[in-house]
């Protein structure tokens, strides 16, 4: 696929306005809306902002999805490291079926194809898709907030949720780059969207799936109340102490590493396979295109580091984020 073809497919994927049903348009007309930074309008649904393409998938998912007892959901706020989490979990739970060898699926397939997004992939393609062909345990990913998940998932005592959280300052920078990459024109010029605009929208909570702090805090609170069901992981912790967190993740997913596996260096092999350096240099991730969206796989790989915010956010911006977001919203809840 040429880059022009991929760009026009992606535009079609993101801009669904012409294909919305009358029923959905009527539903949208009942919601508060705001001029969008990403798509024409953002709509407020159950306290969070979305553009129509996402919201249509969420509504279909809520209407038709039936969880199975062994389902695993990987949940993140956008740009928190979803691609990494998908790669790690896919490798951990399939390690007997797919040992780490040259023909491992991650070497030829982008992680977003291996573990599909619910609202922007599975329920984007069809209103009520047949999921019978999926192998067990089924693993899905989503950015949907806790309060908007179907009750059947929230009340399930057996489904498992892994929530990956990231420093919001790095999320803002990652989001800004991502939006600019998606919106670039054929000449590959960066879009005019400024980091200040992305920052202000983020602080006001008016970007997709925002507000961030409520998204993250709801899952954090749930993980405290129900640690066997929700595993709350931080991107920065995974970077700092990968083996420890990989071990905990596998245990949470009911597939702990045996001592033989540990001794054979399997944990290191998994981290290496799923590392930014390895995945971002694979042909499939450098030049591949996601079949469901037309997006270049490469848009999900930029630096894969912590702390790039220092190169982009001014002191005033950082102070505002700390004051307005962190102290106002997070303090008093024991979240550091």
Catalytic positions: 143
| 253-271 residues labelled b (16+ CB within 10 A) or e (exposed) | beeebeeeeeeeebbeebb
Q: What contacts 165, CB < 8 A, 6 or more positions away?
A: 76, 77, 80, 216, 219, 220, 232, 233, 234, 235
- Specify the stretch interacting with ligand A3P by CB under 6 A; choose among 30-38, 51-59, 77-85, 220-228: 77-85
Is position 36 an interface residue for ligand A3P (rule: CB under 6 A)?
A: no
Rounded Cα distance between 50 and 280, Å, is 29
Helix, strand, coil percentages (3-state) for the chain, rounded to 5, are 50, 10, 40
Is position 81 an interface residue for ligand A3P (rule: CB under 6 A)?
A: yes
**Per-position x/- string for 276-295, each x denoting binding to ligand A3P as judged by CB under 6 A, each - no binding:** x--x----------------
Q: Which is nearest to 147 in space by CA: 242, 95, 83, 215?
A: 215
Q: What contacts 236, CB < 8 A, 6 or more positions away?
A: 166, 167, 306
Torsion of CA 95, 99, 102, 105, to 10 degrees: -40
Candidate list 37, 82, 141, 180; residue touching ligand A3P; CB under 6 A:
82
Candidate list 300, 313, 317, 325; residue touching ligand A3P; CB under 6 A:
300
Candidate list 48, 50, 84, 257; residue touching ligand A3P; CB under 6 A:
84
Is position 76 an interface residue for ligand A3P (rule: CB under 6 A)?
A: yes
Tell me the closest approach of the beta carbon of residue 27 to ligand A3P, in angstroms: 28
Shorter beta-carbon distance to ligand A3P: residue 120 or 156: 120
Candidate list 50, 170, 222, 245; residue touching ligand A3P; CB under 6 A:
170
Q: What contacts 184, CB < 8 A, 6 or more positions away?
A: 190, 191
Q: Which residues pair with 140 in a beta bridge?
A: 73
- Specify the stretch interacting with ligand A3P by CB under 6 A; choose among 46-54, 76-84, 96-104, 223-231: 76-84
Is position 223 an interface residue for ligand A3P (rule: CB under 6 A)?
A: no
Is position 296 an interface residue for ligand A3P (rule: CB under 6 A)?
A: no
Is position 100 an interface residue for ligand A3P (rule: CB under 6 A)?
A: no
Is position 65 an interface residue for ligand A3P (rule: CB under 6 A)?
A: no
Q: Which residues pair with 172 in a beta bridge?
A: none
Shorter beta-carbon distance to ligand A3P: residue 154 or 302: 302
Is position 115 an interface residue for ligand A3P (rule: CB under 6 A)?
A: no
Distances (CA, A) of 219 to 46, 48, 50, 212: 16, 14, 19, 11
Is position 107 an interface residue for ligand A3P (rule: CB under 6 A)?
A: no
Is position 90 an interface residue for ligand A3P (rule: CB under 6 A)?
A: no
Q: Which is nearest to 320 in space by CA: 308, 328, 312, 309?
A: 328
- Specify the stretch interacting with ligand A3P by CB under 6 A; choose among 61-69, 83-91, 191-199, 213-221: 83-91
Candidate list 52, 116, 211, 304; residue touching ligand A3P; CB under 6 A:
304
Candidate list 65, 123, 301, 313; residue touching ligand A3P; CB under 6 A:
301
Tell me the closest approach of the beta carbon of residue 36 to ligand A3P, in angstroms: 19
Is position 83 an interface residue for ligand A3P (rule: CB under 6 A)?
A: yes
Distances (CA, A) of 325 to 169, 216, 217: 11, 12, 12
- Residue 13 DSSP SS3: helix
CA within 13 Å, CB half, 36: 20
Shorter beta-carbon distance to ligand A3P: residue 87 or 148: 87
Rounded Cα distance between 267 and 282, Å, is 21
Candidate list 274, 289, 290, 313; residue touching ligand A3P; CB under 6 A:
274
Binding site for ligand A3P (CB under 6 A): 76, 78-84, 87, 170, 174, 177, 274-276, 279, 300-304, 308
């Amino acid at each position: 696929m040429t880059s022009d073809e991929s760009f026009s497919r992606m535009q079609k994927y993101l801009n669904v306005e012409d294909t919305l049903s009358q029923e959905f348009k009527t539903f949208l007309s009942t919601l508060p809306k705001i001029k969008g930074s990403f798509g024409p309008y953002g709509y407020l649904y159950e306290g969070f902002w979305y553009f129509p393409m996402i919201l249509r998938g969420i509504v279909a998912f809520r209407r038709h999805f039936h969880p199975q007892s062994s389902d695993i959901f990987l949940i993140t706020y956008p740009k928190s490291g979803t691609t990494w989490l998908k790669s790690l979990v896919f490798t951990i739970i399939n390690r007997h079926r797919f040992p780490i060898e040259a023909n491992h699926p991650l070497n030829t397939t982008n992680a977003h194809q291996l573990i599909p997004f619910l609202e922007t992939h599975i329920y984007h393609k069809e209103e009520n898709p047949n999921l019978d062909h999926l192998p067990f345990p089924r693993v899905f990913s989503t950015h949907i907030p806790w309060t908007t998940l179907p009750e059947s998932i929230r009340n399930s005592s057996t489904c498992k949720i892994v929530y990956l959280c990231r420093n919001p300052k790095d999320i803002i920078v990652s989001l800004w780059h991502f939006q600019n990459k998606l919106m670039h024109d054929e000449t590959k010029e960066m879009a005019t969207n400024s980091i200040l605009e992305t920052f202000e929208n983020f602080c006001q909570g008016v970007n997709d799936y925002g507000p961030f702090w409520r998204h993250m805090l709801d899952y954090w609170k749930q993980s405290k109340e129900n640690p066997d069901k929700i595993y709350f992981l931080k991107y920065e912790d995974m970077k700092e102490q990968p083996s420890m967190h990989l071990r905990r993740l596998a245990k949470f997913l009911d597939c702990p590493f045996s001592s033989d596996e540990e001794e054979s260096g399997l944990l290191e092999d998994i981290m290496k396979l799923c590392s930014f350096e390895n995945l971002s240099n694979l042909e499939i991730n450098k030049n591949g295109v996601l079949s469901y969206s037309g997006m270049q796989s490469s848009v999900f790989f930029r630096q894969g580091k912590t702390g790039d915010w220092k190169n982009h956010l001014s002191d005033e911006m950082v102070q505002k984020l700390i004051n307005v977001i962190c102290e106002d919203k997070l303090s008093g809840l024991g979240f550091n």
